Chain A
Amino acid sequence: MRKVFYQYLSQLFKDNPKLAILLCDIGVFSFKSCFDYDESRIYNLGIMEQSMIGVASGLSKAGFIPFVHSIAPFITERCYEQLKLNLGYENSNVFVVSVGGSYDYTGLGSTHHCPNDLRIVSSIPNFRTYCPGNSKDLIEIINSNLNTGSPKYIRLAETENNLAEINSNYCDLDFLNFNENGICIIIGNSIKDFKKLFDNPPKCSILYTYNISEFDIEKLKIIASCHRKKITLIEPCYDSGILSQIATSIKNIESIEYIGLPKKYLDDFGYGSKEEMDKSLKLDDNAILERLKQIYD
């Protein structure tokens, strides 16, 4: 996804003179063609996340569409007030694009983990927050938001799901599988291998979305009206806030199950690879599918 982001944004940068790119000393080599094409619109501002958000807000006020790119904890938690005031309050047309969300940098420890980015950015008014599960999602998000005039946060994931390969026409919160016995909502790249899921599906409807802040609760209400109210939410982060929306909006819920990250420092579960961390947290595909079977079968 990160590679697609660099390639796609590089092309957009060349096609659209309003685009500007601000980097916190990451992705610099990957945007080399942009530096070569027009160095007046792309800057490596170094390790200055707070100021970089302010600079982006100024560029946006002058009519540019800045893309700000850095590592998740530094571009969200470290400069939260800048996101809130310079982008949210000013409703600036700025894309904040992160890598390393949750525990993509497993081995680097808790300073580089960021399971809370989606929740905290979603809580800022005006911000549109996304957790794309694959490159198709990412391109859709960028294209549909270029001229929306509000700030966007996009978390790029290290590992993608294969949903687009199996079903290229899926839409936000569409049925990927129908079973009135319950509803399972999958966010972004929580599940990597949808083929495995569809080969032996749990006895419930499967819905998918990458949309965090604009989660379509009205659509879910309609869907829930023709299902048993046994709902499961699967997220690749701390509780993003969708869970409470469901709990307070859907009437007569029989049960809600949550499969996501525990509110703990994740290096409590060790270092190692991302796959090893998935397993430790019981968030690998096999563990999630087993849990779904337990819930619905």
Chain B
Amino acid sequence: MKDLIEKIIQVSYLSKEGHIPSSLSILQILDYLYTKRLTKWDQFVLSKGHGSLALYAILLKIGAISEQDFFSFCSKDSKLGGHPSSKKINLTESVLLSTGSLGHGLPFCVGLALAKKIKNEPGNVYCLIGDGEANEGTTWESALIASTYNLDNLICIMDFNKSGERAIKLNNCVNKFNSFGWKSRCCYEGNNIEDINETFKDIDCWSSIVFFNMPTFIQLNTIKGYGCKIMENNPEWHHKFPKDETELKKLLSEVY
């Protein structure tokens, strides 16, 4: 991960764009999904599109994009924008929906999951949202639709990096999603691959025994800016890039 974190910081410096801390909080879950979880039948949507650098870094890691692609981030002819665009990136399985404006991914994923049900197709639909994003009413509309129509093939993962804390606090979203008819689980160390793995094991286990027909919600307690000490839980860095070589070096020295 250290190598990918450094690349994210470097590309943000070069492009003078990107949401670094929001990307760092989801690097581990994306790594887990792309290297250990997603099958050819599964679909994934990064609803919190401002975390795009994490998605691009993982696509780089699995060889879906080249180093040259990655370092073209936000340049004029790049296919990798500040938010992922289905029109630009020629990886339809990675960017099914263009995101960036919040609250659009989950309703779209409800549609994908519904389509799988109608067509009797295998596989799950995974949607990664942010806790700040969950202020959007469409999150809760979709939660209601998904449980009403028994979309047990839909998995909503919330990157609970506490972005929303300074505005409207959501507190415990596990209880909230439970009350909307989802089976829910908190992953207390959402930047820890082992803990993520255990959480999904639990979910798989529950699915086969108790919670037949329910959609799944996972609250992933993460640290915004995880892996770069100076950025961790520091709102100042939300949409900021290293301003010069000195700051770049300082940030890179803080990566662990």
Give chain A interface residues in 55-87, CB to chain B under 8 Å: 55-64, 66, 81-82, 85-86
With the chains together, A212 CA to B217 CA distance in Å? 43
A53 touches B (CB below 8 Å): yes
State which size class the interface on A falls in: 20 to 34
Does A166 sit at the interface, judged by CB under 8 A? no
Q: Which residues, 214 to 241 on B, are CB-close (under 8 Å) to A?
A: none
Question: Is the Cβ of A58 less than 8 Å from the Cβ of B110?
Answer: yes
Contact A45 B138 (CB under 8 A): no
Contacting residues, chain B, for A45 (C-beta < 8 A): 145
**Chain A CB within 8 A of B115 CB:** yes
- Counting CB contacts under 8 A, is A203 at the interface? no
Write out the residue numbers on chain A whose beta carbons fall within 8 Å of the beta carbon of B106. Answer: 54
A16 to chain B, nearest CB (A): 13
A66 vs B149: C-alpha distance when bound (angstroms): 17
Q: Mark B134-149, 1 if CB is under 8 A from A, else 0.
A: 0001100110110001
Flag if B108 contacts A57 (CB, 8 Å).
yes
Q: Which of A58, A81, A86 has the most CB of B within 10 A?
A: A58
State whether the Cβ of A89 lies closer than 8 Å to any Cβ in chain B.
yes
Neighbour of B98 across the interface among A52, A55, A66, A85, CB < 8 A: A85
Do A55 and B104 form a contact, CB below 8 Å, given A40-B118, A45-B145, A48-B145? no
Closest B residue by C-beta to A91: B87
Q: Is the CB of B141 within 8 A of A50?
A: yes
User: Contact partner of A54 among B98, B110, B119, CB < 8 A?
Assistant: B110
Q: Are A55 and B87 in contact (CB under 8 A)?
A: no
Chain A 18-53 near chain B by CB (<8 Å), digits 1 or 0: 001000000000000000000011010100101111
**Cβ-defined contact, A55 with B110, below 8 A:** yes
Closest to B103 in A: A50
Chain B contact residues: over half helix, strand or loop, or mixed? helix
Confirm or deny: A90 has a beta carbon within 8 angstroms of a beta carbon on chain B.
yes
CB distance from B208 to the nearest CB of A (A): 24
Q: Is the CB of A62 within 8 A of B145?
A: no
Contact A62 B115 (CB under 8 A): yes
> Interface extent on B, as a size class?
20 to 34
Interface residues of A in 116-135 (CB under 8 A from B): none
Q: Tell me if B111 and A81 are in contact (CB < 8 A).
A: no
Residues in chain B near residue A58, CB distance under 8 A: 97, 107-115
Q: B86 within 8 Å of A by Cβ? A: yes
| B contact residues around A86 at 8 Å (CB) | 97, 104, 107-108
User: Judging by beta carbons under 8 Å apart, are A54 and B149 in contact?
Assistant: no
Tell whether B117 is near chain A: CB-to-CB under 8 Å.
Answer: yes
B116 close to chain A: CB less than 8 A = yes
Residue of A50, A61, A66, A85 near B96 (CB, 8 A) is A61
Residues of A within 8 A of B141 (CB): 48, 50-51
Could you tell me the distance between the alpha carbons of A81 and B137 in the complex, rounded to whole angstroms? 14
On A, residues with C-beta under 8 Å from B are 20, 40-41, 43, 45, 48, 50-64, 66, 81-82, 85-86, 89-90
Question: Beyond the given A58-B111, A59-B112, could you list 16 further A-B residue pairs with CB under 8 A, ordered by the A residue number?
Answer: A40-B117, A41-B118, A43-B114, A50-B138, A51-B107, A51-B145, A54-B107, A54-B142, A58-B97, A58-B109, A59-B114, A61-B96, A62-B111, A62-B112, A66-B111, A82-B104
By Cβ-Cβ distance, the 5 closest A-B pairs, closest first, are A58-B111, A54-B107, A62-B115, A51-B141, A55-B111
